[in-house]
Structure formats: structure tokens, C-alpha cells
Amino acid sequence: MERLKEMILKGRAKETVEQVKKLLDAGADPGTMLQEAMIPAMDEVGDLFSKGEYFVPEMLVAARAMQQGLSVLKPRLVASGIEPIGKVIIGTVKGDLHDIGKNLVVMALEGAGFEVIDLGTDVAPAKFVDAIKEHKPQVVGLSALLTTTMLAMKDTVKAIEEAGIRGQVKIMIGGAPLRQEFCDEVGADFYGPDPTAGRNFARLVVTGEA
Amino acid sequence: MDIWRALLKMKAPGDRQPDFERFRRSLLGNEPGPVTVGDIFADFETVSHLLQEPVLDYISLAEDPDQKITMKDLWWGYKFVGQTIRFCCLAGWDYCWSYSIIPFKGFAFQVTDNTSSEVKDGKRGWLNDNRGPIMSWDDFKRFRWPRDIKAVNAMSRTMAKRVPDGMKVMVIPGGVFEWTTWLMGLVPFSYALADQPDLVDAVIEKVTSLIAAVVEDIMTEPNVGGIFMGDDLGFYSGTFVSPRVLREKFLPRTRQIVDITHKAGGVFVLHTCGNMYAVMDDIIAMGVDAKHSYEDKIMPVEEVHAKWGDRIGIIGGVDMNLMAKGSEDEVRARTRQVLDLCATKGRYVLGTGNSVANYVPLGNYLAMIDEGHKWNREHFGRDY
């Protein structure tokens, strides 16, 4: 298990897949592999990013290793009845095409065991509303990079309120121009300065623990 | 005698005579004095608003190198040069910016509506981080690298022929990190650092050689005062790549460009967004004369000035969020605060936190400049 965790941490995708297969062949429990090696590995990746020891490339290669390992593990997880710990819908708001920050949050959430529905970029408020009604997530994540597009977060929160579904979700926001004051102003529940903070908030919402 | 200079030279509009040496002294000297104003560039819409006349969207032409340039485009380009000079003179800059953009082909641009209320019917293009024209060795070998350096510098040379006496041109050639990650796509580049580091090195070398050729060529032109390199290296919490990778692969190449600029007698300004705390000492050690681009949330200009202001010039720092969304009174108050904290000891030039962008109300930009004039008169009994 330690080697599996280490390979994800170091972003070694090929070795991660090999180790997953080796452990499965040896009879390891898929749920244990996920909970004791893979999720802690991605948790540590996120923590290292927050501390400024890992950067965008390290996050991306670690997430790639995780995703490739997970693709081998997933059928066994499904067969074992292991489900995601929660569901998050995420998107970059209307008028904004930036996605790298959002994608890092997606990786952190998937690494933590969430099912993530990524709506992409330039997402209209109505599309968020439709997605919430269809997928019934616990958490909605809104991303924006620009001073001019962050205002679309206000429109999105308002649309969710007017659709009568605000009480069903917790809304977290993130992006370069944002601060806590803006989060309060638009009526969101959480402002996260980095992917780890977003992951911890989502986990807190569904499990009661960060 | 330079016949073209004699024929094309403009007279500075307005009352103020630009003086590039005043800008140089502001960056390099520690002698406090009336603060000057400058920035990396202004968007063409802002130039148009100030001049009250149509202005060519030059960047969209440069960003679409497959577009066929017509005689009408060349005329508009020539006119754009004159309009840029007039904008800079009227705004009180001692230099004007010019683009020497290497026409790399194949960038994956995405265009969306410009969401600012200042630009109601415009579009803004953004690079797709997930793709680039060079993602493999096959791509690298097939890529048609630009060759005509003289053509790249045509606009900058024309600008240098036209600037009024005393004014010089600061040339924007693009940066080593940006060109590399745009050519490879930031995400594929990130994977390539692990999977194909030799490909990354090859792209960096090629990009550096092209930028060096551009800078070497344009610095031979009289009235080119230096290089204003835009090379965004970071974001909110840090640099995009680790300081170790920057120090190994990118900063030494940028240093080559700094050295070429200095050898030709120019000043080198680095515009780089994001959290640069980890590499500011490296940037200073490279010989960069001044840094531009500061964000109140990431690297407030007064903090940088307090820590490094005796070792590097500081340009700008009035935050873009405020410039875009604040009232004129709020802009004036913050401008005054920045000047009180940064400008009393010299090595500071007043400007925005990023650029004179089209989503910044012109009134706010002019309020910032005007507050600078007032501050100068109060503190030094005169303006610049």
C-alpha cells in the first residue's frame, strides 16, 4: 500500500497501474486500497500544493497517476458496492474560459473520492440549475478568473435561489480575483483559496469532517 | 542622417515634453523626485476612447498570422503607431510601447464575449491551456518556426522612427516561459516536464534563440529604449512551476535577453503576474531593472517595495480590481496610498496593477494619473 501511495505522490502513472494490479492479484481489498493508499496520496498532494511544495505540474502528474490507477480499480469498487462519498457539480462561470484552476479542484475532489460532474467553462446560470436538478449534488463549485466574470457568480447563485433549490446545495467559489467579502456578498457558503480548501469544504459538507 | 527619422518624426501633442532618461532615472536611481507614469500597454479600445477616434485591433491581426495583411491593414498599422504615440504623450508616459510579436502559428485560441460593461460589443481571446501546436517530437520537427526577424520588428522600428524627440520605445517581445507553455499548452507542457523533458528543453532553446534574435535586432535601432518583457510566471499561491524548474530551465534564458538588452544600452523591465515571492531574489540577480504587475491580493506593491525597492525598480501596482470596479474617489485614494508608501524614496513609476485594459473605465485611469500629478505638486512643488 505504501508503494502505491508513493507512486501516486510521485506521479508515476505506469508504476501506479502496475501496483494496483499487483495488489489486486494478491487479494487486496479495493476499498482499502482506495481509502488507505490512493485517497491519502491525493490528500497529501493537495496539502503539498497548499504549502507551496508542489506546483501545477506535480498536481497534474499525480492526478494522472491517480486517474489511471482508479480506472483499473473502478470495476472492482463498483462490484464491491463502494460508492463515491458525495457528488459535486463544478464549472467556470458564464463569460470565462479559464479552466486550469477548476480542473485542479476536480482532481482534488476526485482524489478524495467524490463523483464530480464538470460542466466545463462559460457555464450559464441556467445550466448550473439544470445540472443540480438532474444530479442532486451536495456541493456546487463556481470558478472565475477575471474581475469582470466573477460577477456572473452572483447571477448563478440568484438563479439557484429563484429555482427554489438553494437549500439543497452548499455553494463554494474560487478564483484569483475572489475574496471572502465577495463570497459573503453573493451569498455563497465558502470561498476556497486553493484546491485543497475546496476539497476539505466538500468533505466537511458530506462527512462532517474536513 | 536617418532620412526616415527626419521624414516620420512626430511632434509631441500636449504641453509636456517626454523624456525617456527621466523614466530610466526613475527606475535605476534612488533619488526621489516627481513620479512619472507608465505601464506595459493599453488596449486598443482604451487608446480609441482617449483619442476619440477608431483604432486598429493590432493584436488580433498579430494573433492570427494566417490572416492576409492588406494595404489597408498596413495603413491602419502605420496609423496605429501614431495613435499609440499620441496616447502615451497625452497620458504622460516618457516612452511608448511597441509589439515585436513572433508570429508562431497554431495557438489554440478561444474567443468569448468581453464581459466588461466598458466594452459592450467586443470579444476577448484566451489561450486553451489544454493544447498547443507542439506536443511531441514530431510536432517540433514539423513546426514552421518563424524566420523573418526584420518583419517581426517592423512595427517597433516604425515606432522608433516616429517618436517625438526625447521619447523612446519599450519593445514587448514575449517571454521565454509564456511562449514555451503557449506552444506546448500549459497542461501538455506540465506532463512533458515529467515524460519528455528533452522536448521541453528543445522548445525553450528555440524560443530563447528567437527572442534573442528579435531583441538583438531591434536594440540596434536608435530611439529604442529597452525591453518590456511580458512573462507571467505565477498565479495566486505561487509560481506555475517550481522555483527549481524556473531556475534550471527558464530564468537563465531570460537572463540572456537581459544581458543583450543591457549590452545595447537599454533598460529591461519584467512584467510577470502572480506570486513571485519565491523568485524575486533570482529576478533581481538576473539584472532586471524593474518589475511590473502587482495584485493587492497576491503581491501588494507596497510589500514588494518595502522588501526589494532598494534593489529593483517598481512599476505600477494600483490594483486591477479597483481600477475596473472602483469609483474614481476610491482609485484616487488608493493611488495616493501607493505613492505615499512607494514613491518617496524613488525607483517607482506610477501605473496599474497589470495593464491599461479595456475593462478599466477610462475615467478611473485618468483619475489615477491626475492624482499622481497632484501628489507630485504637494510633495515636490512641481510636476514631472
- ipTM score: 0.86
**pLDDT per residue as tens digits for the range A152-202:** 999 999 999 999 999 999 999 998 778 899 999 999 999 998 899 999 999
Q: Which of A71-80, B67-76, B101-110, B197-206 is predicted most confidently?
A: B197-206
Chain mean position to CA B54: 23
**pLDDT per residue as tens digits for the range B6-19:** 889 999 998 889 99
- Three-state secondary structure call for residue B300: coil
Do the chains contact at A57 and B297, CB–CB below 8 Å?
no
Architecture per CATH, domain A86-207, reads as 3-Layer(aba) Sandwich (3.40)
Distant-in-sequence, close-in-space partners of B144: CB < 8 Å, separation ≥ 6: B105
CA distance A81 to chain B (A): 33
Amino acid at B32: P
Architecture per CATH, domain B13-380, reads as Alpha-Beta Barrel (3.20)
- The edge-to-edge listing of strands for the beta sheet with B168-172 is B95-99, B168-172, B224-230, B267-271, B290-292, B313-315, B348-349
Q: Of the candidates B81, B93, B132, which has an alpha carbon nearest to the alpha carbon of residue B109? A: B132
**Nine cell digits for residue B340:** 505615499
- Bridge-based pairing state of the strands B109-113 and A190-191: unpaired
Grid-cell match 528567437, residue found:
B210
Confidence of residue A151 (pLDDT cuts 50, 70, 90): confident
* Cα separation of the two ends of chain B: 31
- For B94-118, what is the mean pLDDT? 78
Residues in B closer than 8 angstroms to A67, CB to CB, are none
Confidence of residue B262 (pLDDT cuts 50, 70, 90): very high
Backbone phi, psi, residue B56, to 5°: -65, 140
* % of chain B with per-residue pLDDT over 90: 79
CA angle A141, A146, A152 (to 5 degrees): 55
Domain with CATH 3.40.50.280 in chain A: 86-207
Distant-in-sequence, close-in-space partners of B70: CB < 8 Å, separation ≥ 6: none
The whole-angstrom separation of Cα B194 and Cα A10 is 10
Q: Is the pLDDT of residue B65 over 70?
A: no
Nearest to B116 among A49, A103, A148 (CB): A148
The whole-angstrom separation of Cα A172 and Cα A190 is 5
pTM for the whole structure: 0.89
Q: Is A60 on the interface with B (CB under 8 A)?
A: yes
- State residue B76's pLDDT score: 79
Confidence of residue A82 (pLDDT cuts 50, 70, 90): confident
- State residue B122's pLDDT score: 60
Alpha helices in B266-327 (DSSP H): 280-285, 301-308, 320-325
Q: Is the pLDDT of residue B110 over 80?
A: no
Grid-cell match 429555482, residue found:
A163
Residues in A closer than 8 angstroms to B124, CB to CB, are none
Which residue has better confidence, B305 or B114?
A: B305
Average pLDDT of chain B, as a whole number: 91
Amino acid at B178: E
Confidence of residue B70 (pLDDT cuts 50, 70, 90): confident
Tell me the CATH number for domain A2-79. Answer: 1.10.1240.10
- State residue B279's pLDDT score: 97
The whole-angstrom separation of Cα B336 and Cα B343 is 10
Q: Which of A137-146, B14-23, B56-65 has the lowest mean pLDDT?
A: B56-65
Q: Are B26 and B35 in contact (CB under 8 A)?
A: yes
Q: Are B315 and B349 in contact (CB under 8 A)?
A: yes
- For B366-383, what is the mean pLDDT? 95
Count of residues in chain A: 210
Chain B stretch 188-207, residues whose beta carbon is closer than 8 A to a beta carbon of chain A: 189-191, 193-194
Backbone phi, psi, residue A57, to 5°: -60, -40
* Mutate which: A15, A58, A96, A97, vs B, most B CBs within 10 A: A97
- For B230-250, what is the mean pLDDT? 94
- State residue B62's pLDDT score: 53
Chain mean position to CA A104: 7
**pLDDT per residue as tens digits for the range B334-365:** 999 999 999 988 899 999 999 999 999 999 99
- Bridge-based pairing state of the strands B267-271 and B123-127: unpaired
- State residue A146's pLDDT score: 78
Q: Is B187 on the interface with A (CB under 8 A)?
A: yes
Q: Is the pLDDT of residue B111 over 70?
A: no
The whole-angstrom separation of Cα B321 and Cα B13 is 31
Backbone phi, psi, residue B286, to 5°: -70, -15
Do the chains contact at B241 and A56, CB–CB below 8 Å?
yes
Q: Is the pLDDT of residue B378 over 60?
A: yes
**Nine cell digits for residue B302:** 507596497
Number of Cβ atoms within 10 Å of the Cβ of B299: 22
Q: Are A111 and A63 in contact (CB under 8 A)?
A: yes
Distant-in-sequence, close-in-space partners of B162: CB < 8 Å, separation ≥ 6: B8, B9, B10, B81, B82, B85
Residues in B closer than 8 angstroms to A149, CB to CB, are 115
Do the chains contact at B186 and A177, CB–CB below 8 Å?
no
Q: Is the pLDDT of residue B125 over 70?
A: no
Amino acid at A99: D
Nearest to A60 among B187, B242, B295 (CB): B187
CA distance A126 to chain B (A): 18
Chain B stretch 37-76, residues whose beta carbon is closer than 8 A to a beta carbon of chain A: none
Residues in B closer than 8 angstroms to A58, CB to CB, are 242
Residues in B closer than 8 angstroms to A154, CB to CB, are none
**pLDDT per residue as tens digits for the range A37-65:** 999 999 899 889 989 999 999 999 999 99
Do the chains contact at A64 and B113, CB–CB below 8 Å?
no
Domain with CATH 1.10.1240.10 in chain A: 2-79
Residues forming a β-bridge with B124 = B112
**pLDDT per residue as tens digits for the range B283-329:** 999 999 999 999 998 999 999 999 999 999 999 999 999 999 999 99
Q: Is the pLDDT of residue B103 over 70?
A: yes
Q: Is the pLDDT of residue B64 over 90?
A: no
Residues forming a β-bridge with A142 = A91, A173
State the virtual CA torsion across A117, A119, A124, A129 in degrees, nearest 10.
Answer: -10
- CA-to-CA dists, residue A210 to A99, A191, A205, angstroms: 25, 15, 8
Q: Is B108 on the interface with A (CB under 8 A)?
A: no
- CA-to-CA dists, residue B2 to A7, B5, B9, angstroms: 64, 5, 11
Chain A stretch 118-177, residues whose beta carbon is closer than 8 A to a beta carbon of chain B: 122, 146-149, 151-152, 176-177
With CA atoms as reference, the chain A residue closest to B240 would be A56
The whole-angstrom separation of Cα B269 and Cα B321 is 23
- State residue B114's pLDDT score: 60
The whole-angstrom separation of Cα A154 and Cα A159 is 9
- For B99-109, what is the mean pLDDT? 85
- State residue B107's pLDDT score: 79
Do the chains contact at A149 and B115, CB–CB below 8 Å?
yes
Q: Is B10 on the interface with A (CB under 8 A)?
A: no
Residues in A closer than 8 angstroms to B112, CB to CB, are 95-97, 122
Confidence of residue B59 (pLDDT cuts 50, 70, 90): low
Confidence of residue A80 (pLDDT cuts 50, 70, 90): confident
